[in-house]
Structure 1
């Protein structure tokens, strides 16, 4: 979620991403309860074998499976629920052509999930969920290069207690338990969509999402950076300012900037005529990356991925996320969105095909999910092969 409304209403117009989810917001008491349950109910803090050798690999390594979640809450999605479920099923079926997909569903909605996803998708009912944003709620898997696999939980708190999450805050630990790997809780609160890794020691993140009192009150950027590096097996974070308070995620990095390889990144660029806060944010991210170096001292090279014209896409929803950069790399394929700006859609497919040689680029119409401010990357979490 993983992600922001890349072309939001005017500044000051409100929350932006998934404003319609306000009905599912937490009371202070419920937030405190959910936080307590998240800390107490997660799998035990088990130290991984050979601490310091585990690292989160870049996304294009071989995967054992993809993890997803099935949304079934009308209090969260309202009348949009059925359409969002159809989009989740489309994503799951598409990925399942390339690698196994495990989808967590609540028992009461598992039959519908199985019906829409088809037999190629494994639906399990032992891990309850609140919503579909597996990038943020799921475990961050790490490998050690010697056959070892473990997982880290980022203490998901509903993007700063903006949405009910009593079940979702436990998903990371429960998936790790299902897989049977050691699980640790990171020393910060965050979401998988808030962090990009190159698998070689360098991370990208926005301050607005992580250096934020709604996740990490009282923690300095240096403390948060240290906790991130420990969790991801990294030594350097490239920070962007981001955008505070305009969307539920406080501007996740994975809707704008992605690593292609160690020392190589991609940024989705706005139209030259776009000057909203997210356009300015994207340009700043490109500028910072263009002058950055990796943990190993290599100068970054940065590719541009042109975003669509919001006047030409199908959706007119104010919170719609039209992010080609929110793609998901699975075994043999890259799964991305397409939004109805036919010229931009074709250009994005050509760019991704060039950047990921040997992989099929699949573009999906996921407009219903996009009204929630998310994309393909937001609803998927990879389990890399050890």
Structure 2
């Protein structure tokens, strides 16, 4: 597909965050399209070519199931189009980095109406340059002529996980953090999320503060496969006794006793992390739960641990019957501390 500058439109109007009726649907809700972003030399430096290969591979895999719109700096549009192929639409919108889950709008529905929540991206608490990325949510909503809801808090799409019926999971370390929401209490943040994404029941896990750029997003730890079922990234039995295993233990204990918006206990499904992945950097994200659900499929990371990769496919196929599971390599993406879910954002179809 060719570049489409004509997709740009007048800025979408902001509405009050107290708008009633908006609800963030589950990821299995049918998608209109997926948004992604093209990595830049500014951020990725010597790893730019390799991470672009990862992103192009993910974009091509998703395009086999649903439309993909990829944002790229104007000077990168032609290279991105060549790498991603004609099935992917590349649009010239300025970006700093590739993490569309966090910089893009979080879409919500109210019957046949759609809006996008702008979570006021601030570089994960000022940790990275974001002068372009902070405007991406607004640009996408303008392009799509979708109403913009400016959230009264700062956060990222990867910091929340919903079941589509009112239950929301999050880490305290990411949202209840002065680098994003100084002076705001848990109650303040819950009120904001109720207003903007329709959450009525909150499941908070402690998380890990200050050890990765996101302050530990929930989508690296636990996901809803459907209401009542949570998939948990599970470290190996011989994993070192560190902050990450402690965070898993604490989260697992919380989730075992948590009740969702329907008043029911959760079913937990363990998704073991890969072990045999060779030499990786300290910040490498080795978790399968950072997969992405698309129309008719699931895009799942492949880490090179043959047994773990195969087991992950089997578990995810059981969780999403009838969907084709496609694995793609994410070696350089993982070195940047993220994965497939972090690099994507879905626009749901109106009901």
SS in 2 for 1:188: coil
Q: CA deviation at 1:44?
A: 4.3
In the alignment, which residue of structure 1 is the partner of 2:64?
A: 97
8 Å CA contact 2:19–2:195 kept in 1: the answer is no
Show CA shifts across 1:130-189 (max 9, x none).
Answer: 100000000001112x31111111000000000000110111111111111111111110
Show CA shifts across 1:55-105 (max 9, x none).
Answer: 000001100000000112x23111001100110000000000000000001
Matches within 5 A, 1:221-260: 221-260=186-225
Pick from 251, 255, 273 the counterpart of residue 289 of structure 1.
255
In the alignment, which residue of structure 1 is the partner of 2:332?
A: 368
Correspondence 1:76 to 2:43: yes
Correspondence 1:313 to 2:277: yes
In the alignment, which residue of structure 2 is the partner of 1:117?
A: 84
In the alignment, which residue of structure 2 is the partner of 1:186?
A: 151
In the alignment, which residue of structure 2 is the partner of 1:359?
A: 323
Correspondence 1:136 to 2:102: yes
Correspondence 1:203 to 2:168: yes
For residues 343 and 59 of structure 1, the distance between their equivalents in structure 2, rounded to whole angstroms, comes to: 27
Structure 1 portions without partners, runs of 5+: 1-41
Q: TM-score, normalised by structure 2?
A: 0.94
Structure 2 portions without partners, runs of 5+: 1-10
Q: CA deviation at 1:315?
A: 4.2
Q: TM-score, normalised by structure 1?
A: 0.86
8 Å CA contact 2:42–2:96 kept in 1: the answer is no
* Structure having greater relative contact order (Cα 8 Å, sep ≥ 6): 1
Correspondence 1:53 to 2:18: no
Correspondence 1:337 to 2:306: no
Q: Note the aligned Cα RMSD (angstroms).
A: 1.3
8 Å CA contact 1:353–1:361 kept in 2: the answer is yes
By percentage of residues, which structure has more strand? 2
Show CA shifts across 1:253-310 (max 9, x none).
Answer: 001100111121110110111122112212221221110001221111111111111x
8 Å CA contact 1:269–1:283 kept in 2: the answer is no
SS in 1 for 2:14: coil
For residues 315 and 235 of structure 1, the distance between their equivalents in structure 2, rounded to whole angstroms, comes to: 43
Show CA shifts across 1:184-229 (max 9, x none).
Answer: 1111100000000111011000000010000001111111111122
In the alignment, which residue of structure 1 is the partner of 2:4?
A: none
8 Å CA contact 2:12–2:146 kept in 1: the answer is no
Correspondence 1:276 to 2:245: no
For residues 281 and 194 of structure 1, the distance between their equivalents in structure 2, rounded to whole angstroms, comes to: 15
- Would you identify which runs of 4 or more consecutive aligned residues in structure 1 move more than 6 Å? none
Q: What is the number of residues matched between the two proteins?
A: 339
